[in-house]
A and B are shown apart, each in its own frame.
Chain A
Amino acid sequence: GNSVTQMEGPVTLSEEAFLTINCTYTATGYPSLFWYVQYPGEGLQLLLKATKADDKGSNKGFEATYRKETTSFHLEKGSVQVSDSAVYFCALSEGGSEKLVFGKGTKLTVNP
């Protein structure tokens, strides 16, 4: 079945460091790919998404490119801030379905 694998955390960085959180997927067909972020005590919110191969999603300085050849959707940010501390979830939307399949989440802590 469809699945999402993301790097295990937690990840701890200093402010202004470069961030990469790896995400790979297994899917039949052509899924849409998402990154959601969950701040402490809150629900998940969409960070960015890409719906077809080679699309780049971007938001708030975060970027991820849909790579069909490597089945990956890695999240990157050039300079993280303390306010980026949260849990990040990679997800895919199964082809033809509304269901989202989530990775286990990666907790990011950014220290001043």
Chain B
Amino acid sequence: DAGVIQSPRHEVTEMGQEVTLRCKPISGHNSLFWYRQTMMRGLELLIYFNNNVPIDDSGMPEDRFSAKMPNASFSTLKIQPSEPRDSAVYFCASSWRGFGETQYFGPGTRLLVL
């Protein structure tokens, strides 16, 4: 089992540029979650999907952020335009849908916006 795969692992970009983060969930899982982790705010849920459909995007900070899940094996989180305050570690996690089910996290993408 390859686990949750995220790319890139590190991204350095300049303010105003578009950033795209990618995630491949564990095969067979049907729920996918995007989180952001910062020292100041801790771990925040941005959005989650079930069966490729967005269920709750209340954590998406603003319109500059968007997420898609075109199929069961791929999701993207896009920031356009990026700002320095978006610098954080972004995690993707997946699970088999169910109350109390374990979420499996990827290694994260460390984003730095200059």
A89→B91 CA distance, assembly (Å): 15
Binds B, one of A12-20, A67-75, A76-84, A96-104: A96-104
A32→B98 CA distance, assembly (Å): 11
Identify which of residues 2-33 in chain B touch chain A, using a CB-to-CB cut-off of 8 Å.
4, 31, 33
Binds A, one of B60-68, B74-82, B100-108: B100-108
CB distance from B25 to the nearest CB of A (A): 13
Instruction: Determine if A44 and B91 form an interchain contact, defined as CB atoms under 8 angstroms apart.
Output: yes
CB distance from B74 to the nearest CB of A (A): 18
A36→B104 CA distance, assembly (Å): 10
Contact A98/B42 with A32-B100, A43-B106, A93-B99 known, Cβ cut-off 8 Å: no
Chain B residue with the shortest CB-CB distance to A103: B42
**How many positions in chain B have a CB within 8 Å of any CB in the partner chain?**
25
Instruction: Determine if A44 and B105 form an interchain contact, defined as CB atoms under 8 angstroms apart.
Output: yes
Contacts of B33 in A (CB 8 A): 100
Contacts of B56 in A (CB 8 A): 99
| A51 proximal to B (CB < 8 A) | yes
Instruction: Determine if B107 and A98 form an interchain contact, defined as CB atoms under 8 angstroms apart.
Output: no
**How many positions in chain A have a CB within 8 Å of any CB in the partner chain?**
22
A55→B75 CA distance, assembly (Å): 35
| B34 proximal to A (CB < 8 A) | no
CB distance from A34 to the nearest CB of B (A): 8
Contact A45/B105 with A32-B100, A93-B100, A97-B99 known, Cβ cut-off 8 Å: yes
A105→B42 CA distance, assembly (Å): 8
CB distance from A44 to the nearest CB of B (A): 5
Instruction: Determine if B4 and A43 form an interchain contact, defined as CB atoms under 8 angstroms apart.
Output: yes
User: Can you pick out 17 interface pairs between chain A and chain B where the beta carbons lie within 8 Å of each other?
Assistant: A32-B100, A41-B107, A43-B91, A43-B106, A43-B108, A45-B104, A46-B103, A51-B100, A89-B43, A93-B99, A95-B99, A96-B99, A98-B48, A98-B98, A99-B48, A100-B33, A104-B42
